[in-house]
């Protein structure tokens, strides 16, 4: 199931009605220079047969983009539920990578995903800060502006299927590991994932947290 990282309009309205000071402005940590491409790094940390000659892995993926308004609608329609095979957003790139695992160098896959001029324009047009509202006193005009702003904030969607054959366990692992990454939280468009298979055949997938940024006044 995809973890929703971006803020929907509902979440924004909830925050507006909370105890947040009215003079606090929510900054969007988008860098001045828009990245020309996304970078996704996937590392196989460990597996019982990682050093066996017959062990291998294959990653098939799609990298997409969607605005927050459309993302919220897709979420309400159940398109992010576990087991849903539906893909949402506009496709930027898809591909497949295959490697044997005996060589340590093959246990890290780095995907470079260039942005087209159209995608760069969408990222460039993302607001640098969210609409400022007064708690408990949000106006119809502010609601309208918040709705408009949701169409401008961008979210990346990563749909990988990681297929690992462990020669020691003599077992094939098919691991869907879909993720969403809000551009405001990852302004450099750099993402990391790790995969680990345990001796008992269980596995886990982890993703990097957003880089810490300090709001500027």
pLDDT tens, position by position, for the chain (217 residues)?
444 344 444 444 333 333 333 333 343 444 468 999 999 999 999 999 999 999 999 999 999 999 999 998 888 888 887 777 789 999 999 999 999 999 999 999 999 999 999 999 999 999 887 767 677 777 777 666 667 777 799 999 999 999 999 999 999 999 999 999 999 999 999 999 999 999 999 999 999 899 865 343 3
Find out whether 141 and 38 touch, Cβ atoms under 8 Å. Answer: no
- Asked, for residue 13, whether it belongs to a domain, the answer is no
Domain assignment present for 4: no
Within-domain flag for 31: no
How many structural domains does the chain have?
1
Is residue 55 domain-resident?
yes
- Tell me, yes or no, whether 30 lies in a domain: no
pLDDT at position 212 is 67
pLDDT of residue 22: 30
Write out the residue range of the structural domain in which residue 88 sits: 37-128+140-208
Closest by CA to 100, choosing from 41, 40, 44, is: 44
Would you say residue 214 lies in a domain? no
Inside any domain, residue 14: no
Position 117 in a domain: yes
pLDDT of amino acid 172 = 98
Predicted pLDDT at 131: 67
pLDDT at residue 43 in the model: 98
Read off the CATH number of the domain in which 165 is found.
Answer: 2.60.40
pLDDT for the residue numbered 32: 61
């Amino acid at each position: 199931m995809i973890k929703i990282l971006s803020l929907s309009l509902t979440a924004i309205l909830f925050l507006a009605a909370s105890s947040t000071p009215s003079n606090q402005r929510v900054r969007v940590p988008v860098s001045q220079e828009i990245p020309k491409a996304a970078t996704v790094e996937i590392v196989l940390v460990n597996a019982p047969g990682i050093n066996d000659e017959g062990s291998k892995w294959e990653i098939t993926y799609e990298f997409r983009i969607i605005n927050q308004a459309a993302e919220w609608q897709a979420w309400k329609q159940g398109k992010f539920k576990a087991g849903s095979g539906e893909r949402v957003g506009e496709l930027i790139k898809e591909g497949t990578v295959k490697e044997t695992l005996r060589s340590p160098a093959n246990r890290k896959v780095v995907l470079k995903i260039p942005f087209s001029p159209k995608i760069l324009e969408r990222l460039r047009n993302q607001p640098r800060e969210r609409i400022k509202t007064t708690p408990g006193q949000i106006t119809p005009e502010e609601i309208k502006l918040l709705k408009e702003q949701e169409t401008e904030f961008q979210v990346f969607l990563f749909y990988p299927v990681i297929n690992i054959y462990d020669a020691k366990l003599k077992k094939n692992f098919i691991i869907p590991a879909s993720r969403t990454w809000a551009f405001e939280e990852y302004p450099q468009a750099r993402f990391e994932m790790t995969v680990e298979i345990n001796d008992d055949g269980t596995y886990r997938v982890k993703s990097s947290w957003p880089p810490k940024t300090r709001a500027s006044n």
